[in-house]
Structure 1
């Protein structure tokens, strides 16, 4: 059967596919041979990298370090030489034999395509063509199997997998220090030039922790040195490994010793009280140096924005404010002091801050002091802001009169006036007693209410007999309660 004009014959298509599959088979053979030859030197290199990335070699005595390097170099040279001898191109017919084996074809059909018939007669040619056609028909069944280097037979203990796992783990442990650790493993200490940085530069970690109130993250120190600026109150942490000799840290003119962790590691933690040259030394040599600057924490700044005043509605006091701090505000409060009695304990009211510890904030608080004994009196108001370092900033003082509740009942007005007088002069108990005697001497003014009469008399006796300082505020509270009861009772009667 012949192919249609313009179309390739099945034989030509099969032969074209055969060329591609032979190329892939040859590539697979080359890969198998290369991998069998190269895995021993690659394993030696992997084992050395594991030692290098773990940082173990520089911790050894220099002589032992050098002997291990020589041993690795000799082993690598031996296996590398054997690998070079084993790297050969596949034999010309090896790709075809592999392809036949992978495809499960018997009697080497690919060799038939390259052979020629022994006889020239018609019968021999016909038999040969039939045999060739059967071989061509098998080309469609050819397949290229994936490379099989057969390392399991050469490495029954799977050491190659162990080396790979250890290499990945050690590389993860080394992290960004991997290049420095590799260099330190290749250069024993006595092989380094005097001007070269020591291998210790890859085996210390140093970081500065700012005070917690700043919210700033730790700042790691670069082994290359340089300028470092941190907040005052920070702490320096340092861990050095790789030598039994303890290192030394100098900050300015002061020297700081390390604490031994084990035979090869030392640690240090100190508060940074001053700036200056920060130098890490070991074995009489400077390992790293930084120029340290401590930024002092400024106290908060707080001010009225604008001045406080009575709220537009109700009896509240509007306190507009603005504040800022370089690392964040921790607390804000207003303190009120009596103008006529500035030595008296201040009246304090906390003001909530928005968003935790803002660096800048402003707002307006509206507390109600109308029930306080100072209501109706002139006070000095001042804002106080505090930061995380317990530093305080304060505003200018502003004088104002605290809003007070208005009473219409005459006795209630007298009781509130007496209450206010005790705020201005708590020692003046005798005038207050006389005023209470006068009020209770005219019970018709509060409609002969027996309960109120007894309450006011009890307040009078407490004021005279209880000499505690706390007695005056307690009496002031009684006066307030009676005044409110009188006022609200009058309101109820008016409503009825």
Structure 2
């Protein structure tokens, strides 16, 4: 019978790789245990030599220590060789077998001792062997046990390793060679390698890296003000430093001092004399002043007087800020009428130039955007100059630009007259009597149509009476003058823009008169006159609607101004009216009457959808507005908690008193509450207390959480995945508010701020998903949407966003409102960056500021 291969042989052939790894682990384990004292002494000796300890100790102590270290290395090496035993293959198999349940490898190496020849016994043995083979197939390499804690109870190996790492970082391998030059009774000589080190650190604002002098030769070109640091090693006096770049004239240390620092202020030479010395020619690059200039392309002024002046600025290392200065060019003023008097002194107009939020400020282009329509110098000759500065407070000034101060123009004769008298009153209070005379002459027996409404006439007379009283009593001080000037401005705007309601009424009356004329068989001349009246009334209404849209909405999500959109809508209406007139001229009065009814229905739909913006809101819109108000209030609480955290860790920072510290409500800091003062939308007393900024932060957080629970209970029915996501997001917001409340009660402000941030993020997700759910419902209901603000134009949601095609929620519109919000955003980011870089602030505050920078 031929010899069969034993099962253990087959299994071990399959386990060759894990067996080899286990065997290598046994070798490493025995090497570590046998030779750890040897490499511990070796590492400690190398660390001591690289750190230069032999240079500060007596020669006798150094040599005795080296001899003892050498003897210890020989002893520990012999001890390790004697102790080390090369592992056998069977030991690796036994270690692998010990890691398996049932020791299958040992079982496979056994042979059947009894029962041979018995069929049942042999089958039982084969089944046992098969089971052990399956277990052995799961064998894997066993990790070596490299722990030496029971041998090295004091952790000497870690001490030696730490010393070696320190020596590699701060020491020098070249110092080891200096041991050979040490003789009895003499100090150590200079090492064969470099015995000095030097660095050049450019000013921080340049953003340039440091230079290592040991790697440089010949010429060096660095910014003026760079800091030079040189360290001399070895015997004092063997090396010395000389330089002509610092302009130092005061107390200067010796040229052989081991540690020297100075600033590069001019061109010159830097030299290290002695063994291994070197010489450099240093060129100090002066920091050039920044430059700024006007750009001719892109200059424009909108219909309401908002100017846009492009400019370009540059600096070698970056512009840090700038100012635009307007000065009255008195020599160019046409001194007529109210401008004959000497003007009252006024400070120049100074506006901060917008800076890029991100990116390089070494060269950039920006736009100065501002509306100065209400300034006393509006439309008067002025000079404009731009001034920028860099990190070292060097100024750069542009050329002076002569211009008339951009402002809104008034085309209505009465409005233009009111604005002119307002200008004369602001020019000098001496003109007060003259202004009253002119205004009274304007309003004396006014012709029909001069004033658009009785309201404007009554306001005109009230302003005139108040001004006459002040002038007659000689009590026209600056405050009263400014108050009257503001009233005149509001009156002029009313006279110029008119009342949209009046325009609608005139347009409807024109439609009715034309309809009656066609029914009664009026003459062609009469119909033509009524048709022209309808055209004029419609054009007047659309013009006023366009101006109102520009003042309130800006630009729409397609980058198209409302005026452009209104012009397209106006063209559609003109086409309809042309069609009506053409039908009437052809004698097809029935078709003309039907077209006129369609025109009336279209305008009626426009008026209905406009009226739904306030009182006709859907439940979904009301819920969205309530959540938006809750989000604003939560932002205010978070701002207050952050200021309390600042004052807790930095009482002298006066974080709440900065004039630029503008809170959610828009007010300045001064330690006051900055949370939103929104409408409660039916909130309970606790929420009203939170809105008014009363009570502790925890109580106000609790009231806000309860208000959110009330709003969640009143949500309209929303189906689909978007509605479910909205509810989940609001649930997360409620839990985050509860966590913030608990943290506030335990006075853990940092944790409370984190929870409040989570609550705000969840609220934003909920509002976004809720908007998508409402859009889906509107689309399923026939695509009518909430309302159409203009012809074919969908209305905006409570966040100011316009639904896109197909009811999808989204917008490219800017959700920021107010004047120059981009500059405000840049100021906030710059302030956060500045505070996050101040090392004296608490770590918890700086961590919070870094999280803000990461998020925004």
TM-score bracket, shorter-length normalisation:
0.5 to 0.7
Report the CA distance between 1:337 and its aligned residue.
2.2
Cα pair 2:200 2:226 within 8 Å, conserved: no
* 2:41 alignment partner, one of 22, 44, 48: 44
Choose between structure 1 and 2: higher helix proportion. 2
Are residues 1:481 and 2:486 paired? Answer: yes
Which of residues 269, 278, 295 in structure 2 aligns to 1:277?
A: 269
Q: Could you say if the C-alpha distance between residues 195 and 24 of structure 1 is closer, same or farther in structure 2, counting changes exceeding 3 Å?
A: closer
- Cα deviation for residue 56 of structure 1 reads 2.7
Contact 2:425 2:432 in 1 (8 A): no
Q: Using the TM superposition, give the Cα deviation of residue 172 of structure 1 relative to its aligned residue in structure 2, in angstroms.
A: 2.6
From 328, 331, 346, the equivalent of 1:338 is 328
Q: How far apart are the structure 1 equivalents of 2:377 and 2:144? A: 95
CA distance in 1, matches of 2:423, 2:224: 53
1:382 aligned counterpart, secondary structure? strand
Matched, 1:170 2:163: yes
1:196 is the counterpart of 2:197: no
1:381 aligns with 2:391: no
Say whether the 8 Å CA contact 2:239–2:275 is kept in structure 1: no
Q: Is the 8 A contact 2:301 2:406 kept in 1?
A: no
319 and 246 in structure 1: CA distance in 2 versus 1, 3 angstrom threshold: farther
Aligned to 1:369: 372
| 1:64–1:286 distance in 2 versus 1, CA, 3 Å | farther
**How far apart, CA to CA, are the structure 2 residues paired with 1:42 and 1:253?**
49
Q: Deviations over 1:366-416 (max 9, x none)?
A: 311211111111222222222222122222222222234326328625513
Cross-structure match for 2:610: none
Is 1:355 paired with 2:351?
A: no
Q: Gaps (5+ residues) in structure 2?
A: 15-19, 99-132, 134-141, 183-187, 333-344, 445-456, 504-856
3-state SS of paired residue (2:376):
coil
Residues 248 and 257, structure 1, Cα contact 8 Å, conserved in 2? no
1:184 pairs with 2:175:
yes
Shift of residue 223, structure 1, vs aligned partner: 3.4
With over 3 angstroms needed to count, the CA separation of the structure-2 counterparts of 1:408 and 1:157, relative to structure 1, is same
State how far apart, in whole Å, the 1-side matches of 2:299 and 2:472 are.
Answer: 36
User: Which of these residues, 207, 232, 252, is aligned with residue 244 of structure 2?
Assistant: 252
d(CA) in 1 for partners of 2:252, 2:264: 14
The answer to which of 30-39 and 321-330 deviates more is 30-39
Q: Tell me, in whole angstroms, the C-alpha distance in 2 between the residues paired with 1:318 and 1:76.
A: 81
CA contact (8 A) 2:200 2:212 kept: yes
Residue number in structure 2 paired with 1:113: none
> Which of 410, 418, 422 in structure 2 is aligned with 1:416?
422
The question of whether the paired residues in 1 share the 8 Å contact of 2:326 and 2:383 is answered with: yes
Go from structure 1 to structure 2 and tell me whether the alpha carbon gap of 1:292 and 1:63 turns closer, same or farther (over 3 Å shift): farther
Measure, in 2, the Cα distance between the counterparts of 1:100 and 1:437: 113
- Whether 1:453 and 2:456 are equivalent positions in the alignment is no
Contact 1:308 1:317 in 2 (8 A): no
| 1:230 alignment partner in structure 2 | 222
User: Structure 1 388/167 Cα, relative in aligned 2: closer, same or farther at 3 Å?
Assistant: same
2:355 & 2:279 partners in 1: Cα distance?
42
Please tell me whether residue 221 in structure 1 is matched to residue 212 in structure 2.
yes
Q: Once the 2 structures are TM-superposed, how far is the Cα of residue 463 of structure 1 from its aligned partner? A: 8.4
SS at match of 1:355: coil
CA distance in 2 between counterparts of 1:206 and 1:370 reads 56
What does residue range 299-314 of structure 1 map to in structure 2 within 5 Å?
A: 299-306=289-296, 309-314=299-304
How many Å separate the matches in 1 of 2:285 and 2:396? 18
1:132 corresponds to: none
How far residue 359 of structure 1 moved from its aligned partner, in angstroms, is 1.9
* Equivalent pair of 1:247/1:258 in contact (CA under 8 Å): no
Secondary structure of the equivalent of 2:214? coil
Is the contact between residue 436 and residue 467 of structure 2 (CA under 8 Å) also seen in structure 1? no
Aligned-residue offset at 1:320:
1.4
User: Following the alignment from structure 1 to structure 2, what is the Cα–Cα distance between the partners of residues 233 and 310?
Assistant: 43
User: Quick one: distance in 2 between partners of 1:150 and 1:335?
Assistant: 74
How far the C-alpha of 1:219 sits from its partner, in A, is 1.0
Count of residue correspondences:
418
Q: For 2:493 and 2:9, locate their aligned partners in 1 and report how far apart those are by CA, in whole Å.
A: 116
Return the structure number with greater relative CO, CA threshold 8 A, min gap 6: 1
8 A Cα contact 1:327 1:359, kept in partner: yes
CA deviation after TM superposition for structure 1 residue 335, in Å: 2.0
Tell me how far 1:247 sits from its aligned partner.
8.3
- Alignment partner, residue 396 of structure 2: 393
2:34–2:84: 8 Å Cα contact kept in structure 1?
Answer: no
Deviation at 1:442, TM superposition (A): 5.7
Query: How far 1:485 sits from its partner (Å)?
Result: 5.0
2: distance between equivalents of 1:293 and 1:218? Answer: 17
- Per the alignment, do residues 392 and 88 of structure 1 end up closer, same or farther by CA in structure 2, a change over 3 Å counting? closer
CA contact (8 A) 1:33 1:86 kept: no
State how far apart, in whole Å, the 2-side matches of 1:32 and 1:403 are.
Answer: 85
Highest CA radius of gyration, 1 or 2? 1
1:324 equivalent among 291, 304, 314: 314
Q: Matches of 1:350 and 1:452 in 2, distance apart?
A: 37
Cα 1:100–1:315 shift into 2, 3 Å: closer
Moved more, 220-229 or 352-361: 220-229
Residues 337 and 379, structure 1, Cα contact 8 Å, conserved in 2: yes
CA contact (8 A) 1:440 1:456 kept: no
Distance 1:481 1:166, change over 3 A: same
Q: Which residue of 2 aligns with 1:293?
A: 283
Stretch of structure 1 that moved more, 237-246 or 388-397 = 237-246
Whole-Å separation in 1 of the counterparts to 2:238 and 2:473: 78
Post-superposition offset of 1:60: 2.8
2-side partners of 1:57 and 1:313: how far apart? 83
Deviation of the 1:347 alpha carbon: 1.8
